[in-house]
Amino acid sequence: MFAYYLDLALRSLRRSPVLTSLMVLAIGLGIGASMTMLTVLHVMTRDPLPELSAQLYYPHLDPLPANYPSHNEWGDPSDNFTWPDAMALLKAHRADQQAAMAGGRVLAWPVQAGRMPFRVGGRYATAGFFELFGLRFEQGRGWTAADDEARARLVVLSHALAMKLFGRTDVVGRTVRLGDARFQVTGVTADWAPQPQFYADGSGRGNYGESDRFFLPLATALDLDLSVSGNQASWKEGGRTSGNYTWLQVWVRLKDAAQARAYRQFLVDYSASQQKLGRFERPPGNAALYPMMGWLAHQKLVPNDLRLQLWLALGFLVVCLVNIVALLLAKFLRRSGEVSVRRALGARRRDIFVQFGVEAALVGSLGGLLGVAIAQAGLWSVRQRPDSYAHVARMDLSMLALTVLLAIAGSLLAGMLPAWRASRVAPALQLKAQ
Amino acid sequence: MQIQPVLAALRRHRLATLLIVLEIALACAVLCNACFLIANRVQQVGMPSGVDEASLAGLKLTGYDPAQATDLNARVLDGLRTIPGMQSVSVINAVPFGQHAGTAGIKLSREAQKIVGVVDFYVGGPGSFEALGLRVVSGRGPQTSDMSAVADFLPRSAPVLVTRALATHLWPGADPLGHVIWCADRPYRVMGVLDHLARPSGGEGGPETREWSVFVPALPGEHLAGVYLLRAAPGQLDRVLRDARERIARIAPEVVVDIEQSQTLPQLRDRYFRDDRAMAGMLVGVIVALLLVTALGIVGLTSFWVAQRRKQIGVRRALGATRSDILHYFQTENFLIVSFGIVLGMVLAFGINLLLMTRYELPRLPVLYLPAGALVLWGLGQLAVLAPALRAAAVPPVVATRSV
């Protein structure tokens, strides 16, 4: 029966090619616009590090004075750590893996003379960084906690930077000039680019951008006064190592929920002890432990513009669907005569309903295919945009399937009312008129 | 044209009428709000910077030893001044639409706990104020005696100029001259008020904060070096900047030109507003597609109606109705339906705007957008109905006598 209805539907669509293409176009436009925005949102909110995300947590302390505004134009200053707090958390060693870090850009000098130096972004981190996030080394290794203490001039290069500086990756032991200092290369990592760059300071909204090209010890960066990017806030005199200056990020890896609970309690206890010392002024209960995905939600990485565009696109889809309802209604009711003949020959109302339903679904499938094409074009245009997240906007298989499904479901839903209306046509009245 | 019979006929096509009404209402709501968003963006992109953009460029140098900063300043000022077409070279910490350099919270007294605003300090060396072409609306501009050395990013104390927007925020209704703003525990007394001066990176804190800028005169030195303001004759700006970049390689071979920040102000402005322009472009696309789809829906349904009423039209024609009577009938019908849609759409538009206001901090939709949207939709409706209505008017009276 289905094949018969499909045949009928195909004939009917071929009979009015203009109306059919209008319907397919309307569905295609609506679906294409919504899927473009949904895909962008999907890639922006996906898990950047699926293999480890369940175990990664971001501790949060609140060292701000009681009257300090907790939100400025760039975010919450207490989202970052002060040097003493970060070091205390690392020293307490309550987590399996842990590291403190900050981002920065430096001038990198090519080894060949005469070539221009260039700015490159990287991360200053404590020794645990590589194990914490599971980075793979192509050559060599990271540095140790002892190197951290000694403020050693060591650096780990990414594959890309090693290639750019040396033209090869077996460069362990060689020196490279970054800023005004020389560093010895201890290792080269495979390129590592989680998107969004979840571990970085979220205030720059640039967390979908370029990945880290080098890693060097945090204490060394501090020693050399290398520039630090991101949200930095201070509320009293004293430099970066003072307890009145937030600029660091801390990540920990915890095995299970029980360990996470214990760690959170540790944070509250730490805050309470700092409050007793007179350092913290806000309640210890402000201490928190965010799971990675929760932290990303808290950072609000998805710009408002994008959400607005999604709502617009969905509104547009609704308009298109209402349009489909109108066009299908016109199409089906025009065939009242045909319906009457079929009904008079013994077709039940349900049969008519199913027949028109199949036709609506066919329109939906065609519209879905067009929608996929339009969405691909839309994503291409998004990738041409200057926003930092733009280049990650690509459709994956699940979104592709969702596009077609959404189109069919949408047009089935839209076809329901006209099909029902057509199935209610009184056969006798129509036949008499003929 | 009588409305009564049209309404009576519509009552017999409740479902189809309702669909068009719904379509128009949705289109009206989305249209008004999208146009409003576009207007907001366009306004932002056209925001005045308060400086002579067409003749200004920034030049940023990095990679030099801070101990050499004073020497570098002297070499750059001397070396670039002689480029043909260059009107002036001066030291400054930031240029509009470039990288921000002196962003800090300010207070209104030394003891105050509360920060009254996060503002941008432009710290400019001799000649920079004149080069920017700022307009002083009250008080006076900086003189040589006002300039002192910079401590970290600001002088320890200095007379400053504030923008009118910032003055209104800090001292509403009062004369700002003579008042003092505090940054950390350093006082800066207001000596003049500027008409406009945009912050380097615009207003991250919302549109009203976009001009919270302070101009501080200072002497170049260790903490004020590396960023230069070039002023050229307007037509020659691009060439002058190119020459300047080349000459830097000769007069200061050890430094690196930060190409991203060394651009003309028109280029910097262009890059700064790229996102807003992209968003506005996308909104225009949505609106065009939306109107197109709505028009298609109207054409489709009206065509169906005409086909259905062929015989009825033939009877009316046979009874003496003229072609224009038939045409007007469909036009009136469309006008009525679209009007219902617009009424519903206005309610919906305000609802959506209310939602956007609370969730995305957008301003209230100005009432003017609604009649404008209504006119567009009425026009669209009439345009869409024209072809089917003309076809209806072309139905010959003889149809009435034929059996189908």
Instruction: Name the pLDDT band for A207 (thresholds 50, 70, 90).
Output: low
Answer whether residue B199 shows pLDDT above 80.
Answer: yes
Q: Does the pLDDT at position A238 exceed 80?
A: no
* Contacting residues of A for B118, CB less than 8 Å apart: 72-73
> Which residue from A107, A322, A333 is facing B23, i.e. has the nearest CB?
A322
Which residues from A are below 8 Å from B300, CB to CB? 19, 22, 323, 326-327, 330
Q: What pLDDT, in 10s, does the model give residues B320-336?
A: 888 898 898 889 988 99
Say which residue, A336 or B382, is predicted with more confidence. Answer: B382
What is the structure's pLDDT at B344?
93
pLDDT value of residue B196: 92
Choose, out of B13, B17, B18, B23, the residue to mutate when testing the contact with A (most A CBs < 10 Å).
Answer: B23
Q: What angle do CA B81, B86, B89 make, to 5 degrees?
A: 50
pLDDT band at A203 (very low <50, low <70, confident <90, very high): low
Q: In this complex, do A107 and B356 lie within 8 Å of one another by their Cβ atoms?
A: no
- A-chain residue closest to B32, CA distance: A312
* Chain B residue with the nearest C-alpha to that of A336: B308
Reply yes or no on whether the pLDDT at B294 is more than 70: yes
Sequential DSSP letters for A336-379: HHHHHHHHHTT--HHHHHHHHHHHHHHHHHHHHHHHHHHHHHHH
Opening angle at CA A88, ends A82 and A94, nearest 5? 125
Alpha-carbon distance of A360 to A326, in angstroms, equals: 12
- Per-residue confidence band for B392, with pLDDT thresholds at 50, 70 and 90: confident
CA–CA separation, B189 and B253 (whole Å): 40
Residue-wise pLDDT for A296-313, tens only, equals 888 877 777 777 778 888
Contacts of A315 in chain B (CB under 8 A): 26, 29-30
* Cis amide bond preceding A196, omega within 30: yes
Name the least confident of A27-36, A127-136, B192-201: A27-36
Q: Average pLDDT in the B92-104 region?
A: 86
CA angle B238, B240, B242 (to 5 degrees): 70
The residue with tokens 């981190």 is: A125
Which residue is it, tokens 């609370």? B358
Q: Three-class SS of residue B222?
A: coil
Average of pLDDT values for B343-351? 90
Average pLDDT, chain B: 87
Residues of A in contact with B304 (CB under 8 A): 329-331, 333-334
Listed residue (B377, B391, B380) closest to B32, CA to CA = B377
Interface test with B, best of A67, A312, A389, A391 (most B CBs within 10 A): A312
Contact: B26, A312; criterion CB under 8 Å: no
From chain A, pick out residues whose CB is under 8 angstroms from the CB of B279.
305, 309
pLDDT tops 90 at residue A40: no
Nearest to A327 among B105, B271, B297 (CB): B297
* Predicted-assembly ipTM surpassing the 0.85 threshold: no
Average pLDDT of span A13-35: 84
What pLDDT, on the 0 to 100 scale, is given for residue B280? 83
Phi first, then psi, for residue A96 (nearest 5°) are: -65, -50
* Residue A31 token pair: 């679906």
pLDDT band at A90 (very low <50, low <70, confident <90, very high): very high
Task: Tell me the pLDDT tens digit for each residue of A54-77.
Answer: 999 999 998 888 777 666 555 678
**Chain B residues with CB inside 8 Å of A22's CB?**
296, 300
Written as one letter, the residue type at A166 is F
∠A79-A121-A254 over CA atoms, to 5°?
45
Residue B205 clears pLDDT 60, i.e. is over it: no
State pLDDT tens for residues A105-123.
888 888 877 777 888 889 9
Picking from A24, A31, A42, the residue whose alpha carbon sits closest to that of residue A398 is A42
Q: What percent of chain A has pLDDT over 90?
A: 29
Are the beta carbons of A263 and A97 closer than 8 angstroms?
Answer: no
Per DSSP bridges, beta strands A118-125 and A214-217 are parallel
At residue B227 the predicted structure's pLDDT band, cuts being 50, 70 and 90, is very high
Distance CA A128, CA B89 (A): 48
Alpha helices, DSSP H, located in A175-240:
218-224
Measured in angstroms, the CA of B300 and the nearest CA of chain A are apart by 6
Q: What is d(CA A121, CA A209) in angstroms, rounded to the nearest whole number?
A: 10
Average pLDDT over residues A410-429: 80
Q: Is the CB of B300 less than 8 angstroms away from the CB of A330?
A: yes
Residue A430 has pLDDT above 60, yes or no: yes
Residue B399: C-alpha distances to residues B172, B224, B338, B387 (Å): 77, 90, 30, 20
Q: Where are the beta strands (DSSP E) in B111-255?
A: 117-124, 136-139, 148-149, 158-163, 180-183, 186-194, 213-219, 227-232
pLDDT value for A429: 65
* Number of C-beta neighbours around residue B162 at 10 A: 30
Q: What is the mean pLDDT of chain A?
A: 85
